[in-house]
Amino acid sequence: MLVRIAGNLARFVLSLLAATLAVFALMRVLPGDPAAIAAGENATPEVVAGLAKQFGTDRPLPVQYWDWFSGLWRGDFGVSYVTRTDISPLVADKVQVSLILVTLAMALALAIAIPAGTIAAVRHNKPSGAVIAAASQLGIAVPGFLLGIVLVSFFALRLGWLPANGWVAPGVDFAGFLARLVLPVIALAGVQSAILVRYVRSAVLEVMHEDYLRTARAKGLSPLGALVRHGLRNAAIPVLTVTSVQFSALIIGAVVIERVFVIPGLGSMLLSAVGNRDLLTVQSVVMVLVAITLVVNLLVDVLYTIVDPRIRAAAQGER
């Protein structure tokens, strides 16, 4: 088991290294010299050259890469070419916001989807199961931002129970932080739980037809007892996979919800950086996203290993 986790870790580090190269290369391929953009349309070549020297973009690419790469390890993303401010503290702020938002939303989505999907599977030929399955279809079709706007107009504007939008850091005003978190988390979790219900349902349905569930019933366990004791852990693996993919996608995918609720997340930051052609900020944000995705994958791999002893052994012959 430890062997496998060590292998996962090694692959994680290699992937991360490869990602820094890929992201750096991708940004250099994009048209537009940062110095020329920063200097404006009417700038003289001398001004542009001066800015290039200041940014360091006149140096050879390997030197620039090394500069950026070694900065990454110190947590230093450099200074934005456009806003002339340090990128790192900004990114750190936004990452915190996005992670809180997305983690809570995914947790809520799972808390809804696991029981709902299990019920939908167990009662798949009864009306209640069909209702859940239909509701999940509907939930996938409703865009998250629409749900967000409906939630705001009802709970914030009509009832006045919660603030309509905004963000407060938890350290500043914890109650306010929580109050502002409720609606966006629900709006994000709505669609996600609808998606996850489908996966939980099909995973549980599949497990219900497994021979070992019949064995469990033949031992005298109740249908529900057999499913809980023998089925759910077996059904967890495909659900785990989807959850990790959705989590990574949501870090940026939350940008629409961030806009609706005026939340300063990573997605919004990336969007405005792209709009401003703020190359180094874009590069930093993308790098952070890649790192988050890789960390999530690493965690899921380790979870697989814990859940499934067969993966732990992985005694498959290799060619």
Of 159 and 315, CB closest to other proteins: 315
For residues 300 and 236, the answer to whether their CB atoms sit within 8 Å is: no
By CB under 8 A, what part of segment 289-308 binds other proteins?
307-308
Distance between CA atoms of residues 95 and 233, nearest Å: 32
Bridge partner residues of 79 (DSSP) = 86
Nearer to other proteins, 36 or 237 (CB): 237
User: Whole-number minimum distance, CB 307 to other proteins, in Å?
Assistant: 7
Q: Does residue 184 contact residue 148 with C-beta atoms inside 8 Å?
A: yes
Q: Provide, rounded to whole angstroms, the least separation between the CB of residue 218 and other proteins.
A: 5
Site string for other proteins, 86-125 (x = CB under 8 A): ---------------------------------------x
Count, residues in the chain? 319
- Best CA proximity match to 162, nearest among 174, 146, 151: 151
Residue 306's contacts (CB-CB under 8 Å, 6 or more residues apart) are none
Residue 33 engages other proteins in binding (rule: CB under 8 A): no
Considering only the stretches 22-30, 67-75, 138-146, 206-214, report the one whose residues sit in contact with other proteins under the rule CB under 8 A.
206-214
Stretch in the footprint of other proteins (CB under 8 A) among 132-140, 158-166, 227-235, 278-286 = 227-235
Q: Is residue 127 involved in binding other proteins (CB under 8 A)?
A: no
What is the Rg, in whole angstroms, of the alpha carbon atoms belonging to the chain? 24
Least separation in angstroms between residue 23's CB and other proteins is 31
Tell me, residue by residue from 53 to 92, as one string, x for binding to other proteins by CB under 8 A and - for no binding. Answer: ----------------------------------------
Comparing CA positions, the residue from 56, 30, 33 lying closest to residue 45 is 33
**Total site size for other proteins, rule CB under 8 A:** 32
For other proteins, which stretch binds (CB under 8 A), given 75-83, 136-144, 226-234, 244-252? 226-234
First to last CA, the chain: 22
Which CB contacts under 8 angstroms, 24+ apart, belong to 148-155?
148/183, 148/184, 148/187, 148/257, 148/260, 148/261, 149/260, 151/183, 151/186, 151/187, 152/183, 152/260, 152/261, 155/183
Site string for other proteins, 158-197 (x = CB under 8 A): ----------------------------------------
Q: Among the candidate windows 2-10, 85-93, 149-157, 246-254, which touches other proteins by CB under 8 A?
A: 2-10
Q: Which stretch binds other proteins (CB under 8 A): 50-58, 128-136, 229-237, 240-248?
A: 229-237
**Judged by CB under 8 A, which of 24, 167, 230, 240 binds other proteins?**
230
Check if the beta carbon of residue 251 is closer than 8 Å to that of residue 102: yes
- CA dist., res. 88 & res. 281, Å (int): 9
Among 217, 238, 277, 303, binds other proteins (CB under 8 A): 217
Q: How far apart (Å, rounded) are the C-alpha atoms in residues 113 and 118?
A: 8
Q: Please state the closest distance from residue 57 (CB atom) to other proteins, in A.
A: 44
Mind giving me the DSSP string for 141-210?
HS-HHHHHHHHIIIIIIIS--S-SS----TTT-HHHHHHHHHHHHHHHHHHHHHHHHHHHHHHHHHHHTS
Residue 84 or 319: the one with the smaller Cβ distance to other proteins is: 319
List interacting residues with other proteins (CB under 8 A). 2-4, 6, 125, 210-212, 214-223, 229-230, 233-234, 307-310, 313-318
